[in-house]
Amino acid sequence: MNGSTVRVWALRWGFRFVFGLPAPVKRLMAGPPIRLDGQVLDPDLQLLGRIAALLASSDGGTLDQSVLAEQRRQADLAAEVAAEPGLDDIETRDLEVPGAVGPLAARLYVPPSAPVSSAMLVYFHGGGFVLGSVASIDPLCRLLAAQSGVRILSVDYRLAPEHPYPAALDDAIAAFRWARAHAGDLGATAELTAVGGDSAGGNLALVVAHEQASGEQPAFVLALYPVTDAERRGGSRETFGSGFGLTFEYLQQLERLYLPDGIPTDDTRGAILRASDLSGMPPVYLATAGFDPLRDDGEDFADRLRADGVPVVARRFPGLVHGYAGFTAISAAARDATLDAASALRAALALVESRRAVRR
């Protein structure tokens, strides 16, 4: 094993040892329960936060462009460390799909239970439009594929600050349109092609669906703790803006890199919550975390969807933090919430398929 592999192995087993300790021991290590806004923070995530604070550098979470490549590498490493065991039976294939200006890296996940022709989720990773990759989201895509029985096509997109808005969105739209048009080549069915993502990727998924409202739209949208209103102030961004992983200060840094000139006055796609009309979008599953600065972004958007007549299932998981779908190996509550999303995906696409069968 090389040095990087040894480090991943050591960190992974270290975390599994700590989070496998008896609950009373973990509670002692985490400290007294944290209660805020009528919610209690999940004790495992509280302990994770304490460990992260001990390991953090002194920059306080500054996004340093001079070492951005290393920060991106660390994001990939963190995902590998936190990966769940027992998902090696998922078949994967690396490929390229067309983006707006060139090819994008992608990875197809095929669960053993997937039939020859089946549903597919085109998935976009999180990372504030600045970090993240097919590698960083690999553990979550494996879990979603295993638990939903749905093919997952994870697609990269150009990142800021090298490629500011709307590069990521243009890539996401191009990738989805290609995937739907070539679903058969991927073992899937065009009419059963959904779109999804977490955080920044959840934003991209929602905007892609909105852009396709008058065309060949996704069958379903899966959005985990999405950002929907860049440059927003107050509310959950202030209440949970420090001490729970993602901070308001860091969020502002990410938004400035993605939207260096702010939200264009003639283009609300950078803040989909401000769209004048959301009607015509496909059904949406939207999950938020109780201790997330972006909680209001997601819940206000769910309210807008309902008001415009779009079927939406909105779930708040009160004890969780932003990015919980990356912590399923250490938090039972985070895993349950992620499995809820997988169940919603499976049920929604099964319903679409049954309706197609009736029409045939």
Q: Catalytic annotation on 163? A: no
Residue 69 confidence (pLDDT): 87
State the catalytic residue, choosing from 156, 198, 229, 292: 292
Distance CA 33, CA 318 (A): 14
Residue 202 pLDDT greater than 90, yes or no: yes
Contact 331, 303 (CB under 8 A): no
Q: Catalytic annotation on 210? A: no
The two most distant CA atoms of the chain are separated, in Å, by 62
State pLDDT tens for residues 303-312: 999 999 999 9
State the catalytic residue, choosing from 136, 154, 199, 331: 199
Number of domains in the chain: 1
State pLDDT tens for residues 54-108: 877 545 466 777 788 888 988 888 888 888 888 888 999 999 999 999 999 999 9
- How many Cβ atoms from other residues are within 10 Å of residue 148's Cβ? 26
Q: Catalytic annotation on 322? A: yes
* Domain hosting residue 217, numbered range: 3-359
Conformation bin of residue 166: beta by default, left when phi > 0, alpha when psi is -120 to 50: alpha
Q: For position 21, which CATH number holds?
A: 3.40.50.1820
Residue 4 confidence (pLDDT): 62
Least confident of 28-37, 50-59, 350-359: 50-59
Q: What is the mean pLDDT of the segment spanning 32-37?
A: 98
Closest CA to 221 of 229, 212, 230: 212
Q: What is the mean pLDDT of the segment spanning 108-116?
A: 84
State pLDDT tens for residues 221-267: 999 999 999 889 999 999 999 999 999 999 999 999 999 998 888 88
Contact 113, 185 (CB under 8 A): no
98 strand-pairing partners:
103
State the catalytic residue, choosing from 44, 154, 198, 322: 322
